[in-house]
Structure 1
Amino acid sequence: MRRFPLFAECLTAGVLVVLAALPLVTLLPALAAGCAHVKAHVDGETTALRAFFDRVRDAARGGLGPSTGVVAGFGALAADVAVLRRVPLPGGGVVSAVCAVAAVGLAVVVLRAAADWSPGERWTALLRSAARRSAADPSGSLLLVVALGVLVVVTWQLPPLVVPMLGCVLMAAVAVERRRSRLRDAEHL
């Protein structure tokens, strides 16, 4: 019974992240606030709506430029795949697959950066660090790829479930980052 409140907070975080990310350029701050919302619940801190939007505001400081870059990166990859699907080019299938893998890799890096965010952090440093952690911790990255895969399959089956499933992906990102820090602490003992 103790796990249901966590699931409910994940659902709430999913709804709030979708609302906060509607302008698209606020994608990174919205994801960071969603991960912070899940962490706050797990740590017994406040999960009030005002606290969520305060976190979005804090994460938006210096985050709109990198967020725009991330959205542009996803857009470029999606546009490449769309063009390759319409215009049959030699090797187009391979390029489409590479674009899909790159999009998943970018999503993993973004989720890891959002889960590691705390007030005052610089987004460029967070994204660089998340890219290094994604490569150095392949099992954690694979866990996030599986979470994204579940998000895609569930959303494909029933599109309105994208909102609650996004909250579950945020929970997975927080769990992967906490797992990484616990493993690192265990190695130093």
Structure 2
Amino acid sequence: MNLSGAYNPLKVEEVVARFWGEKRIEEKWRRFDPDSDRVFTFLEGPPTTNGMPHVGHIRGRTYKDVVLRFWRLRGYAVWAQGGWDQQGLPVELEVEQKFGLKSKKDIERLGLEKFSEECNALVDYYLQFWEEWGTRRLGLWLDLKNAYQTRRPRYLEYTWRIVKRAHERGLLAEDYKVLWF
């Protein structure tokens, strides 16, 4: 690998990415042995795909990656599950702005199915940037082939099942508190 001459970060990225691909570095690095007696598990608190990744997101994901690399270098089998938070008010607000919607009645006139389709299309639009710029090009080696997505029925059904069980067991309470966050 020859990187002589003026520093060109895009060229360095290209050379390193090609090397990683040819040597299948990520695949080897992420190999997980569930029978290992030294396992470190990581379930990503997911980034929200409701906008472009920015430097704050990148910083946070880099911190996570440093921890994963630390445990891998110590000989641990690391299970690193990625995921995406794909719901929320920012997506809905952007779709409302796109269509000039100001009220619930406006949304109903557009149609709930159409509104939902537009929200999903917007999430898909941002997701491609997150997968490319906010993950792959950073060299973050998370399992994104099996990434959980909060908008998928399987995830929603599982979440509601947990809430229902907690309610049935009397584990939920309504209260007002001052919190630091």
Bin for the TM-score computed over the shorter chain: 0.3 to 0.5
Greater share of strand: 2
Greater share of helix: 1
Larger Rg: 2
Q: TM-score, normalised by structure 1?
A: 0.34
